[in-house]
Amino acid sequence: MHRRQFLRGVAGSIGLASIGAAGAHPGPYRPLGKVPITNAKEAVPDENGEVAYVAATDGFATVDVRVPSDPQLLAERRDLLSDRETGPLRLIQDAKVEGDRLALVGPANPLEGDVLQGLVVYDVSDPTDPQQIGFYETSYPIHNCDIDDGVVYLTANDGETNSLVAVDAGDGEVTELGQWSLLDRDESWREVAGPLRTLHDVRVRDDRAYLAYWDAGTYILDVSDSADPAFVSRIGGRPRGELAEISGEEGRNAVIGLPGNAHYATTDESGDLLGINREAWAVDGDGGPGGVELWDVSDETAPEQLAAIEAPASSDPSIGGTWTTSHNFDIVGDRLFTSWYQGGVKIHDISDPANPEELAWWRDPDEAAFWTAKLATEKFFVASSMGRRANGKGALYAFPNHAGEQKDPPALTTTATGTETADETTVETTITTETTTTTQQAALDEDEETTEANASGDAPGFGAPAAVAALLGAGAWRTFRQK
């Protein structure tokens, strides 16, 4: 069954209401609807904004979101590849969809023992009955991926090269096409500890790949030939020589806190506006949480920072406190959709990207920790929550795409263990719009500071749990895993 046939067939059974209802949502700003999904992580809508695909740690779910006030679970698959000797595939935190192909990867972080690792591809032409059509086994964990024109791009964090790997998955026969790593650019990056140069995420569009390389910064590659990616530009990041000297306690702090921690990067449709976020926590009371930066990359060899959006303030921004650091986001047209874990979700008007304007903010820190926010249609966006206190109570939410204020918004004072802090004051957020003092030069030596962001907006982060496990030790890693 083809996708269009499915949608026509299901419309009658659901009693399809007008999607325009999202634009007419009355009263205070609030979710249009939600559906529970155990251990939800990343969520991505299809190109028509009709079906959302949700990575769910030990599997995935497909959700009909054509009526955002009443999202419907279509299919759920758990314990993927459990028939394999080292299966099932575990810690599936990322999913990407293109046409009728769904890519899922795992485990997101290194696991002890002989475990299954790789990319699994599904045919979702009928989202009520996804069919596995391919599997590509790897020797490394895969935190994130992207798919473009049938090519899946993987974050191959083996601790040594931490490469971008491109594989052809167009016909279900998954074969490797090419690789690229910082070591291809400069072999001396090998002197920097692997966790500090983790390839956390990749976004591909219009022959460009945007690589978030944690403390090493954000890299832009030309992937018009996916078998031979080529360096275009580097944005931000700490000097290689400085990173090479980091070890021990300083290394543990560097992975968690600012500066650094390029977590995710994506552009608007034109490719001229780039967003980069930093996932960060406070260390010894300083730094964090991380925010989102907006960059003019119309000249890719000379990017200029336009603005920095700060994270919602937290009464305890440490790794054990209330998480309000930036996580995954989306840029479409003149809107920026952001997720902030317990800090909720936001919409910004970025028609003037040098002066972002907050339009809406919703949070429920006791129940929801938002992983992502992605526009589905012009009327609404979807946002996945991984739940709270390791309770497995994840969900997919739908929110209206319009300005508004939440009624009686809760204070961001709940800690990681669910206890309340003394400060019950509702927090506010601010936006800084200072531009950088220098611009990025593609030919700069890799040992130079590539771009100096303003202090208040340079909020790096922690989005590489594997790095935390390596540098922070088991106690902090358990805290992270319980979030």
pLDDT tens digits for 24-77?
Answer: 456 899 999 999 999 999 999 999 999 999 999 999 999 999 999 999 999 999
Three state DSSP letters for 83-141: CCCCCCCCCECEEEEECCEEEEEECCCCCCCCCCCEEEEEECCCCCCCEEEEEEECCCC
3-10+31-481 maps to which CATH number?
2.130.10.10
Q: Residue 172 has what pLDDT?
A: 67
pLDDT tens digits for 211-267?
Answer: 999 999 999 999 999 999 999 999 999 999 999 999 888 888 889 998 989 999 999
Residue 98: which of 120, 71, 73, 125 has the closest Cα?
A: 125
Q: Residue 6 has what pLDDT?
A: 46
Average pLDDT (104-113) is 97
- 2 pLDDT more than 50: no
Q: Residue 390 has what pLDDT?
A: 63
Average pLDDT (334-340) is 99
Q: Which residues pair with 414 in a beta bridge?
A: 420
Q: Residue 414 has what pLDDT?
A: 54
Q: Residue 470 has what pLDDT?
A: 43
Residues of the chain with pLDDT > 70, as a percent, come to 79
Least confident of 29-43, 88-102, 457-471: 457-471
Q: Residue 389 has what pLDDT?
A: 62
Q: Residue 437 has what pLDDT?
A: 29
Helical packing angle, 248-256 and 465-472, nearest 10°: 150
* Residue 475: partners with Cβ closer than 8 Å, 6 or more residues away: none
CA distances in angstroms from 117 to 77, 84, 98, 335, listed in the order given: 17, 11, 22, 36
SS3 content of the chain, % helix, strand, coil (to 5): 15, 35, 55
- 463 pLDDT more than 50: no
Average pLDDT (332-340) is 98
Give the predicted TM-score (pTM) of the model.
0.86
| Cβ neighbourhood burial of 186 (10 Å; 0-12, 13-18, 19+) | middle
Q: How far is residue 237's CA from residue 215's CA, in Å, rounded to a whole number?
A: 5
Q: Residue 26 has what pLDDT?
A: 65
pLDDT tens digits for 276-311?
Answer: 999 999 998 888 899 999 999 999 999 999 999 999
Average pLDDT (384-409) is 92
> 214 in the Ramachandran plot: left (φ > 0), alpha (ψ -120 to 50) or beta?
left
Q: Residue 27 has what pLDDT?
A: 85
* Residue 331: partners with Cβ closer than 8 Å, 6 or more residues away: 266, 267, 268, 273, 275, 337, 350
Q: Residue 473 has what pLDDT?
A: 40
Q: How far is residue 3's CA from residue 131's CA, in Å, rounded to a whole number?
A: 13
Q: Residue 461 has what pLDDT?
A: 30
Q: Residue 452 has what pLDDT?
A: 33
- 19 pLDDT more than 80: no
One-letter amino acid for residue 222 of the chain: D
Chain-wide mean pLDDT for the chain? 85
At residue 387 the predicted structure's pLDDT band, cuts being 50, 70 and 90, is confident
- 369 pLDDT more than 70: yes
- 455 pLDDT more than 90: no
At residue 433 the predicted structure's pLDDT band, cuts being 50, 70 and 90, is very low
CA dihedral (148, 152, 157, 160) in degrees, to 10, reads -90
- 313 pLDDT more than 60: yes
- 160 pLDDT more than 80: yes
**Tokens linked to 48:** 């028509």
